[in-house]
Structure formats: structure tokens, C-alpha cells
């Protein structure tokens, strides 16, 4: 809402209007956030009207004119005139630019109204929506605006800018008077003290940004602090600290002339003249894979006339630690026609000279390559070399790696590299000639990316060579109350016992046990009865008799005999009437799908039998 300024207001200008002028914004003085609003921003403190700026800069001086309303608020006045005068100066301090103030209330306005050899300036307070002159912009003489008001588009605000003769390299000073007028009536005066002084300008660079290393491999960082300003910087406090990464694994060596701190870095205090720089070399390393980032910060420094400065100057660099992580495994398995490998458990049982496929796999689960990888395979667990042999060639995939056999008992590969995330396999077959356990183990040697040798060994899978070993015996026994076996007569009987024993280490499969009844010149004994038992089982087995072949067989016809099992077949036979005298032999036999064949015989004697009738 616009308000007309009355004659009464002008008659009491000292109580109806406020005028504030300042060079910098500090706590406890003018509140720059309230400039242009309805709340009184308050008068600047003495320190805000006495300010030091860097040499060769253009420094803004701000002004604000407000109206004290009956409601207690202070409202900005648009178009009030402020006259700026340099009363005294050294170093040729002059007004460099001035606000044109927007539309004045009754007074003619000319933009950039600077006169009297730039020792005086006239400005007018702005309208936020007006076409206001911008703050000065120059790369050679940069703007130094610390008033807290960052735009000329602020109601009731006006400004001017000062600089000095660039030939001055020490100090340039000015005493400035600012007078505010509303409709030609003075409100009040303000006095400002301006100093241009040489200022240090510090920069900090930490390099390289990403340092690559292996485990426990030191890498150098450099921290360079430079002073590109016109004045010296003294008591510079530099601190370098670890910001991310496992501190327990990270360590640095504090550079000479510095002090190690508790946050895996160093602290230093030093001075820099104008144009000078200083570089610190920081060796760092880590014992675990990861990214370790630390930050070098200029905590504070003394900037001459500007006092102690706490800048926000820092730079970060990181140490990236990588390493290969090799593992080796050995697995037994099978290969199908397409060459696909299917793992099987250790301890598989095979027969003599039956090949068993094995695969050794070396994997790099780390994030760096391993070099000079060499894989070996050797027999283990007291395996007898004379009974063990590799069969055929060792195949390598996906890389084609040279492989040299070691007298058929193992092999050694040529050196190869293994990238991060890669695997390399070696597939081969081996067999054993005699019963027993056959074991071998894969090992590797390699070079890590930090130059250190690494080694590893696989588990020790084994295969077992086992074979059945059958033996057969047959005996005939006298039955109680019957003649002796060498004095049998027609009608007498005897017992036959056939035993088949598996003394091997594997099961004999499809074992068929038979007995051909005793005979002489195709005259056979008569079959009486029979049964069989298998050790380790409780139930007797039955038999069948084939009259056409005179053969007794087990039921079922074949069965398996585990290691150390015994099959016992017991038969009762009798001598047929009219059987001629002589030796009658019956033959027990076995066949097996994996244990061969065998037989055994036992004989009885039939004597002459004479009957007389009287």
C-alpha cells in the first residue's frame, strides 16, 4: 500500500524516517533479511560501518531509507535520495559505480550519478519491480559485496561501489559520509570507514584424485596449498583426515614437519607469502580392499588486516585398494557326450582301470587380476604312484593353457593370468589298477597386484577302486545213520555243501550258483532236498531242481554278494536203485557279471551190493 509523505512527516524527519548505511553485515547489527520488508532491520553496528576489503576489488556500500508508521512498522521508501561523499582518502579511493534509484519522488534522476572527480555520488532508493542498475561486474576488479543484500531489486535499498588506484599495493583508505534526503529534507547522516588491504587468497589441491594400489601397497598423495593473493597468510592450520573407508585397515605416514592426528591423517601449521605455495607428500596404504577417501582442509589462517579467517577450503582424494582373491577347488564328476561336466561326490567306487573324471577350478573372486598363475596336481593321502595314472590329455578352458604331465601321476600348467571375476578349469581322467583309495590335490601359486606371491590348495577328493573276489568250495558230508561216503549203496543218502565267498572289496553282482548232481557215465544221483543261506541274512533261500539237466539252482537264479558275504548251498542226494558201483562226482559252480566264474567238485563212492535168497 502506498502512503503519501506529509509536511508534518518532513517537519519531523528525524523521528519519522530512518536511514541506515553499512559496508558489511555482521551479527548484532542490521538484519539484511528484513531490508525491503515491513519490519525495521535495525541500525548497523559500528563494526558494520568499518570494513576491510581486498585490494583491486569493487566494494558495495549499502543504504536503506524507511518510514516509521503509527503501527510500529518501518516501511521502505522508494525514491529517497542519498548523497555519498568521500571526505578523506589515501590511495585514490573513488566511487566506481552508483545506483540510479528507480523513480524518484519529485527529483530528477540520472543513472550512475558520480561527480566531483568520483569523490561524490547521488543515488535513489529502489523499487523491487523497477528497472534498477545492476551491481558492477568485472573480472579484473571483482565485486566484493558483504552487505548481505544480494540484489539491487530491493525496496528502499540503494548502493554505491568504491575501488582504488591499482598502483596501490599496500593500503588504501577512505572516510565516507552518506546523507539521506526525503523530498529534499535531510533524514540523517552516516559515516563509513573503508579500507582496501592486501589479502591472501588460498587454494588447496589434493592429488591424484584416485590413487590405485594393492594390499599394503603405499601410494603417495600430494597436498598443495597456494597463496595467489596480494598479502601473506600466516599461521595456516592444515588438517588431513580420513572421511570414508575402514580406519582399522588404513594407515598413513605423516609428512616431515607435520604431526600425525587421531583420524588417520596429519596436522600442520605454516606461513605462505604472497605467490608462494607448499606441498606435502602423504604416503598411504590399506590392508583391506576398499575405497579410502580423506579430505585436506585449511581450518584457519591469519589474513593480516582481515584478521583470522576460517575458510571453507578443502579437497578430497581417494585411495582405491584392489586385490585378486583366488580360490581353487577340485571335484570328481562325469562328462556327457557334449562335454558337460556333472559333479559327483568324493568316494565314488569304480573297478580297476575304470577312469574317473576330475576337474580343478581356479577362481578369482577379487577385484584385480592375478598374474603368473600356475596350477599343479599331485597324488595325496599315501596314494601309490605305481597303481595310479592319468588317462588321456588334460583339457584347459576357457584359456588354452599349456599342461605338462608328471610321469602320469599329476601335472603342472604353464603360467597364465586370471582377470577379476574369471575362472579357469582343468579337466582330466585318472584310474587305479588295484583295489584301494586314490586321492590327488590341486594347488596354485600366483602373483598378486602388489607383487606378493599367493598360494592355495584345493580339497582332496578321492575315488575308490574296488573289485569282488569270489571263491567256491564243495564238500560232501555223511548223514547220521547212513553209510560212509565211500561205502554208499543204492537207497542211501548223503549231504553236499557248496560255499561261495566274496573276499573282495566290491559287491559281486548277478551271482548264479548251481550244482550238477553227482554222476558217472550219465548215471546220476537222485535229488532229495536243498536250501541256501547268505551270511548276514536270517531267512533261508529255496532252490529249484531241473530234472532234465540234473541241476540244482538258487531261487532267485541270481543275487548279489556284498564284500565278506558267504552263500552256502546245502543239498541232500540219494543213490538210485541199481546204481553201478563207482565214484560219483557232483560239481558246484558260480557265474557273476563282474566276478568271473568258478567251480568245485566232491565225490562219493557207491559199492557193490549182493542179495542172496536161501
State pLDDT tens for residues 314-355: 999 999 999 999 999 999 999 998 989 999 999 999 999 999
pLDDT, tens digit, 9 for 90 and up, residues 153-187: 999 999 999 999 999 999 999 999 999 999 889 99
Q: Is the CA virtual torsion 91, 94, 96, 97 positive or negative? A: positive
Would residue 100 count as lying in a domain? yes
108 pLDDT band, cuts 50/70/90, is low
Checking if the pLDDT of 308 tops 60, the result is yes
Average pLDDT over residues 271-286: 97
Tens digit of pLDDT for each residue in 553-575? 999 999 999 999 999 999 999 99
Asked whether residue 595 falls in the same domain as residue 450, the answer is no
Both 487 and 450 in a single domain?
no
CB contact burial 384-403 (16+ within 10 A = b; e otherwise)? eeebbbbeeebebeeeebeb
Secondary structure of residue 34 in the 3-state scheme? helix
- The answer to whether residues 299 and 430 touch, using CB atoms and an 8 Å cutoff, is no
Residue 219 resides in a domain: yes
15 and 144 co-located in one domain: yes
Residue 610 above 60 pLDDT?
no
In the block, which residue shows the cell 584359456?
399
In a domain, 124, yes or no: yes
In this structure, are 448 and 495 located in the same domain? Answer: no
How far is the C-alpha of 283 from the C-alpha of 105, rounded, in Å?
Answer: 69
* Residue written as grid cell 607469502: 273
Give the whole-angstrom CA distance, residue 466 versus residue 482: 45
Give residue-wise pLDDT tens across range 80-92.
999 999 999 999 9
| 394, 361: one domain | yes
Separation of alpha carbons 251 and 286, rounded Å: 6
Residue at 491 is within a domain: yes
Assess whether pLDDT exceeds 90 at residue 131.
Answer: no
Alpha carbons 240 and 248: distance in angstroms, whole number: 17
pLDDT, mean of residues 66-86: 92
Count how many domains the chain has: 4
Are 223 and 184 members of one domain?
no
CA–CA separation, 596 and 601 (whole Å)? 18
Q: Is residue 1 part of a domain?
A: no
Strand partners, 575: none
Assigned C-alpha cell, 419: 582377470
CA 497/CA 520 separation, integer angstroms: 20
Q: What is the largest CA-CA distance in the chain?
A: 188
Whether 43 contacts 31, CB under 8 Å: no
Identify whether residues 28 and 146 lie together within a single domain.
Answer: yes
Q: Average pLDDT in the 357-386 region?
A: 96
| Pick from 363, 413, 369: nearest CA to 393 | 413
Coil, strand or helix: which one is 48? helix
Answer yes or no: is pLDDT of 242 > 90: yes
CATH code where residue 527 lies: 2.60.40.740
pLDDT-derived band at 217, boundaries 50, 70, 90: very high
CB-based contacts of 569, cutoff 8 Å, min separation 6: 497, 498, 499, 500, 513, 515, 530, 531, 532, 543, 552, 554, 588
Q: How confident is the model at residue 538 (pLDDT cuts 50, 70, 90)?
A: confident
Grid coordinates of 236: 595456516
Do residues 221 and 182 both lie within one domain?
A: no
Domain contains 2: no
Q: What is the DSSP letter of 146?
A: B
Handedness of CA 114, 115, 119, 123 (dihedral sign): negative
Residues listed for the chain: 614
Calculate ∠ Cα 298-302-307, nearest 5°. 125
Verify that 305 and 338 share a domain, yes or no.
no
Which residues contact residue 486 at a Cβ distance below 8 angstroms, ignoring those fewer than 6 apart? 604, 605, 607
Indicate the pLDDT class of residue 102, thresholds 50, 70 and 90. very low
Q: Of all residues in the chain, what percent carry a pLDDT higher than 90?
A: 89
Task: Tally Cβ neighbours within 10 Å of residue 195.
Answer: 20
What is the per-residue pLDDT for 104? 40
Alpha-helical segments (H) within 412-483: none
Q: Residue 295 sits in a domain of what CATH number? A: 2.60.40.10
165, 197, 229, 357, 537 from 57: Cα distances, Å = 10, 10, 12, 83, 109
At residue 106 the predicted structure's pLDDT band, cuts being 50, 70 and 90, is very low
At which of 171, 197, 223 does a domain end? 197
Q: How far is CA 132 from CA 80, 96, 150, 383, in A?
A: 14, 17, 13, 97
358 lies in the same domain as 237: no
* Residue 288 CA: distances (Å) to CA of 208, 250, 285: 20, 8, 9
- Report in angstroms the alpha-carbon separations of 499 from 428, 475, 479, 568, 601: 42, 9, 18, 4, 11
- Is the confidence at residue 421, as pLDDT, over 50? yes
pLDDT at 72: 86
Tell me the three cell numbers of residue 222. 600430494
Peptide bond into 451 cis (omega under 30): no
Residue 612 is assigned to a structural domain of this protein: no
Q: Is residue 614 part of a domain?
A: no
User: What phi, psi does 9 have (nearest 5°)?
Assistant: -60, -45
Mean pLDDT for all residues in the chain: 93
> What is the three-class DSSP state of 317?
strand
Full DSSP string of 517-540: EEEETTEEPEEEEEEEEETT--SP
* Count of CB atoms situated within 10 Å of the CB of 484: 12
- Structural domain of residue 365, as residue ranges? 326-465
DSSP string, 86-145: EEEEES--EEEEE---SS-SSS---TTEEETTTTEEEEE---TTS-PPPPP--SSS-EE-
The arithmetic mean of pLDDT across residues 429-434, rounded, is: 95
User: Domain ends where: 197, 232, 253?
Assistant: 197
Domain boundary among 197, 221, 252: 197
Of 506, 536, 208, give the one whose Cα is nearest residue 354. 506
Count other C-beta atoms under 10 Å from residue 592's C-beta. 22
User: How far is Cα 310 from Cα 288, in angstroms, rounded to an integer?
Assistant: 35
Q: What angle do CA 277, 145, 85 make, to 5 degrees?
A: 120
Residues 403 and 546 in one domain: no
The torsion angles phi and psi of 217, rounded to 5 degrees, stand at -105, 115
Write the DSSP symbol of residue 419: -
Cα atoms found within 13 Å of the Cα of residue 403, Cβ hemisphere only: 24
455-497 tens-digit pLDDT: 999 999 999 999 999 999 999 999 999 999 999 999 999 999 9
Does 163 lie in the same domain as 17? yes
Amino acid at each position: 500500500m502506498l502512503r503519501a509523505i506529509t509536511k508534518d512527516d518532513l517537519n519531523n524527519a528525524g523521528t519519522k524516517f530512518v536511514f541506515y548505511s553499512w559496508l558489511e553485515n555482521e551479527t548484532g547489527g542490521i538484519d539484511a533479511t528484513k531490508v525491503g520488508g515491513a519490519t525495521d532491520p535495525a541500525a548497523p553496528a559500528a563494526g558494520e560501518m568499518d570494513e576491510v576489503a581486498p585490494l583491486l576489488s569493487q566494494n558495495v556500500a549499502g543504504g536503506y531509507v524507511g518510514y516509521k508508521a503509527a503501527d510500529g512498522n518501518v516501511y521502505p521508501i522508494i525514491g529517497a535520495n542519498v548523497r555519498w561523499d568521500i571526505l578523506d582518502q589515501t590511495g585514490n579511493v573513488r566511487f566506481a559505480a552508483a545506483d540510479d534509484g528507480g523513480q524518484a519522488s519529485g527529483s530528477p534522476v540520472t543513472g550512475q550519478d558520480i561527480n566531483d572527480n568520483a569523490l561524490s555520488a547521488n543515488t535513489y532508493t529502489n523499487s523491487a519491480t523497477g528497472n534498477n542498475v545492476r551491481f558492477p561486474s568485472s573480472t579484473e576488479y571483482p565485486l566484493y559485496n558483504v552487505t548481505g543484500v544480494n540484489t539491487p531489486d530491493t525496496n528502499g535499498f540503494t548502493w554505491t561501489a568504491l575501488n582504488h588506484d591499482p598502483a596501490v599495493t599496500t593500503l588504501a583508505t577512505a572516510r565516507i559520509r552518506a546523507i539521506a534526503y526525503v523530498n529534499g529534507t535531510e533524514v540523517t547522516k552516516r559515516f563509513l570507514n573503508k579500507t582496501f588491504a592486501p589479502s591472501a587468497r588460498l587454494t588447496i589441491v589434493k592429488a591424484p584424485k584416485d590413487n590405485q594400489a594393492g594390499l599394503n601397497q603405499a601410494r603417495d598423495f600430494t597436498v598443495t596449498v597456494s597463496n595467489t593473493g596480494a598479502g601473506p597468510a600466516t599461521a595456516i592450520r592444515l588438517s588431513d583426515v580420513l572421511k570414508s573407508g575402514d580406519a582399522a585397515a588404513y594407515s598413513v605416514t605423516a609428512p616431515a614437519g607435520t604431526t600425525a592426528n587421531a583420524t588417520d591423517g596429519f596436522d600442520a601449521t605454516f606461513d605462505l607469502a604472497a605467490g608462494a605455495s607448499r606441498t606435502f607428500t602423504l604416503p598411504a596404504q590399506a590392508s583391506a580392499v576398499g575405497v579410502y577417501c580423506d579430505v585436506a582442509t585449511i581450518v584457519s589462517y591469519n589474513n593480516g588486516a582481515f584478521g583470522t579467517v576460517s575458510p571453507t577450503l578443502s579437497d578430497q582424494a581417494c585411495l582405491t585398494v584392489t586385490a585378486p582373491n583366488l580360490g581353487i577347488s577340485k571335484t570328481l564328476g562325469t562328462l556327457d557326450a557334449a562335454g558337460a561336466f556333472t559333479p559327483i561326490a568324493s568316494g565314488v567306487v569304480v573297478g580297476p582301470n575304470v577312469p574317473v573324471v576330475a576337474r580343478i577350478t581356479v577362481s578369482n573372486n577379487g577385484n584385480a587380476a592375478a598374474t603368473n598363475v600356475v596350477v599343479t596336481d599331485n597324488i595325496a593321502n599315501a596314494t601309490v604312484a605305481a597303481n595310479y595314472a592319468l588317462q588321456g590329455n588334460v583339457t584347459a578352458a576357457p584359456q588354452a593353457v599349456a599342461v605338462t604331465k608328471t610321469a602320469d601321476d599329476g601335472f603342472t600348467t604353464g603360467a597364465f593370468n586370471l582377470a577379476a571375476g574369471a575362472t579357469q578349469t582343468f579337466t582330466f581322467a585318472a584310474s587305479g589298477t588295484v583295489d584301494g583309495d586314490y586321492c590327488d590335490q590341486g594347488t596354485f601359486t600366483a602373483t598378486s597386484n602388489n607383487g606378493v606371491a599367493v598360494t592355495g590348495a584345493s580339497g582332496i577328493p578321492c575315488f575308490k577302486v574296488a573289485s569282488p573276489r569270489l571263491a567256491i568250495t564243495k564238500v560232501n558230508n555223511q548223514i547220521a545213520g547212513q553209510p560212509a561216503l565211500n561205502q554208499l549203496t543204492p537207497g542211501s543218502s548223503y549231504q553236499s555243501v557248496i560255499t561261495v565267498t566274496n573276499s573282495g572289496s566290491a559287491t559281486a553282482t548277478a551271482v548264479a550258483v548251481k550244482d550238477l548232481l553227482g554222476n558217472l557215465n550219465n548215471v546220476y544221483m537222485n535229488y532229495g532236498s536243498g536250501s541256501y543261506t547268505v551270511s548276514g541274512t536270517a531267512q533261508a533261500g529255496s532252490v529249484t531242481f531241473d530234472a532234465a539237466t540234473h541241476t540244482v539252482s538258487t531261487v532267485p537264479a541270481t543275487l548279489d554278494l556284498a564284500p565278506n558275504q558267504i552263500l552256502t548251498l546245502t543239498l541232500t542226494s540219494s543213490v538210485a536203485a541199481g546204481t553201478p558201483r563207482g565214484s560219483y562226482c557232483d560239481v558246484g559252480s558260480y557265474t557273476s557279471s563282474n566276478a568271473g566264474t568258478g567251480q568245485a567238485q566232491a565225490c562219493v563212492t557207491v559199492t557193490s551190493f549182493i542179495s542172496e535168497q536161501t
